[in-house]
């Protein structure tokens, strides 16, 4: 059975390019989402500073969670333990929604260099197979084959770097949003 190394080398490069597209989509989507949550967070903070019972209009996870938290405290059957349990549950819910899809970036950052290395190995194997078959005797052709093989490593490392920067930026933004939500919960506690 003969393995077509050139096909799998090209497949590795195609998968890496697909990973770059996914990275771009996730980074842009999360940046927009975090921007919206940041604006909602400011309006929540402003509502908490006003006198009286705050209202939290909006369909985002922060507004809904704060509205649920404030409504629970207004109920006569709300004990301190139930309010604290709700607070913890709402924090976990918000954290889960804010952190959503960041695992994709983490996975791609980890897998991209390995996939690039695999593509390089397959490309070099293809070049050596062509050499051993006697089809290539020109050193320039061998150099071109190895350069084409190394392209997979370059794309893999580039993908990982882009993903790492995006992941770190988004992870920091996510922490900021969840910490701010924790502060909103503490300010809203009666």
Q: What is the pLDDT of residues 7-33, one digit of tens each?
A: 888 899 999 999 999 999 999 999 999
**pLDDT for residue 138:** 67
Q: Which residues of 78-96 are buried (b: 16+ CB within 10 A; e: fewer)?
A: eeeeebeebbeebbeebbe
**pLDDT for residue 4:** 76
Structural element, H or E, at residue 164: helix 139-188
d(CA 155, CA 177): 33
Number of domains in the chain: 1
Q: Which domain holds residue 85?
A: 5-188
**pLDDT for residue 73:** 86
What are the Cα distances from residue 189, in Å, to 14, 33, 87? Answer: 52, 27, 9
- The pTM score is 0.84
Ranges of residues in the chain whose predicted pLDDT is under 70:
1-2, 134-138, 141
Average pLDDT for the chain: 89
**pLDDT for residue 135:** 61
**pLDDT for residue 19:** 95
Residue 119 contacts residue 153 (beta carbons within 8 Å):
yes
């Amino acid at each position: 059975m003969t393995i077509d190394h050139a096909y799998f080398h090209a497949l590795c490069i195609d998968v890496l390019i697909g990973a770059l597209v996914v990275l771009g989509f996730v980074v842009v989507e999360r940046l927009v989402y975090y921007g919206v949550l940041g604006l909602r967070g400011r309006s929540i903070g402003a509502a908490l500073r006003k006198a009286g019972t705050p209202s939290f209009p909006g369909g985002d996870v922060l507004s809904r969670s704060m509205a649920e938290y404030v409504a629970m405290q207004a109920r006569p059957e709300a004990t301190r333990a139930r309010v604290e349990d709700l607070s913890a549950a709402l924090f976990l819910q918000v954290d889960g929604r804010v952190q959503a899809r960041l695992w994709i970036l983490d996975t791609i950052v980890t897998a991209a260099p390995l996939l690039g290395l695999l593509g390089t190995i397959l490309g070099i194997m293809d070049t050596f197979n062509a050499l051993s078959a006697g089809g290539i005797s020109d050193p320039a052709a061998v150099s071109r084959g190895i350069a084409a093989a190394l392209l997979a490593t370059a794309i893999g490392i580039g993908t990982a770097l882009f993903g790492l920067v995006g992941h770190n930026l988004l992870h920091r933004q996510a922490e900021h949003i969840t910490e701010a939500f924790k502060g909103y919960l503490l300010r809203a506690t009666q």
